């Protein structure tokens, strides 16, 4: 720093400590300080609210993805349940069970009459007088 004529180096330095580019800084007034604090505080509040809104939007999108995945899973499980119910109905149909029972054992077609007589005899021995007619039960299962 150049030393002005007629002053010492230290005196020139002391005089320029509170200046910027040769312009002396004026002290801030209390009202100006309040305004600057209010502006800074307002900016912080606005940024905070903006961040909160972004977070809420991200949570809504995330929840939407979870809801979509849950709906997809429910639809897939309902479809699987329908398929399993159809398979169960097919596997337990009386006609299919009768065919499976006759095939490996080689039962004759008139086994139904013998079976009906056996069921009637067993029901009488046990004392069941209101036992349904096995012929009608057997006929209903094969139709």
Q: How confident is the model at residue 138 (pLDDT cuts 50, 70, 90)?
A: low
Q: What is 55-88 written as a DSSP string?
A: HHHHHHHHHHHHHHHHHHHHHHHHHHHHHHHHHH
CA separation (Å) from 14 to 21, 22, 124, 129, 139? 14, 13, 128, 126, 121
In this predicted model, what pLDDT tens digit does every residue of 83-104 receive, in sequence order? Answer: 999 998 888 887 887 777 767 6
Has residue 36 got a pLDDT over 60? yes
Cβ atoms of residues 134 and 111 within 8 Å: no
Domain boundaries, the chain: 94-143
Counting beta carbons within 10 angstroms of the beta carbon of residue 123, is it exposed (0 to 12), middle (13 to 18) or buried (19 or more)?
Answer: middle
Q: What pTM value is reported for the model?
A: 0.43
The angle subtended at Cα 45 by Cα 62 and Cα 34, nearest 5°, is 175
CA dihedral 118, 124, 128, 133 (to 10 degrees): 50
Is the predicted pLDDT of residue 11 greater than 60, yes or no?
no
Residue 140: the pLDDT is: 59
Q: Is the pLDDT of residue 121 over 80?
A: no
Between residues 33 and 6, the one the model is more confident about: 33
User: Tokens 């079976």, residue?
Assistant: 115
Note the pLDDT tens digit of each residue in 51-70.
999 999 999 999 999 999 99
- pLDDT exceeds 60 at position 110: yes
């Amino acid at each position: 720093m150049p030393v002005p004529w007629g002053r010492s180096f230290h005196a020139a330095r002391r005089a320029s400590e509170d200046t910027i580019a040769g312009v002396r800084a004026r002290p801030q007034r209390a009202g100006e300080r309040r305004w600057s604090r209010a502006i800074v505080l307002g900016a912080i509040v606005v940024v905070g609210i903006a961040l909160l809104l972004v977070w809420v939007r991200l949570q809504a999108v995330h929840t939407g993805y979870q809801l979509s995945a849950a709906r997809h899973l429910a639809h897939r499980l309902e479809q699987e349940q329908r398929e399993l119910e159809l398979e169960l109905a097919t596997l337990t149909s009386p006609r299919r069970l009768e065919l499976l029972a006759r095939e490996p054992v080689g039962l004759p077609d008139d086994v139904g009459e013998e079976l009906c007589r056996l069921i009637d005899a067993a029901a009488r021995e046990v004392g069941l007088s209101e036992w349904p007619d096995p012929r009608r039960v057997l006929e209903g299962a094969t139709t």
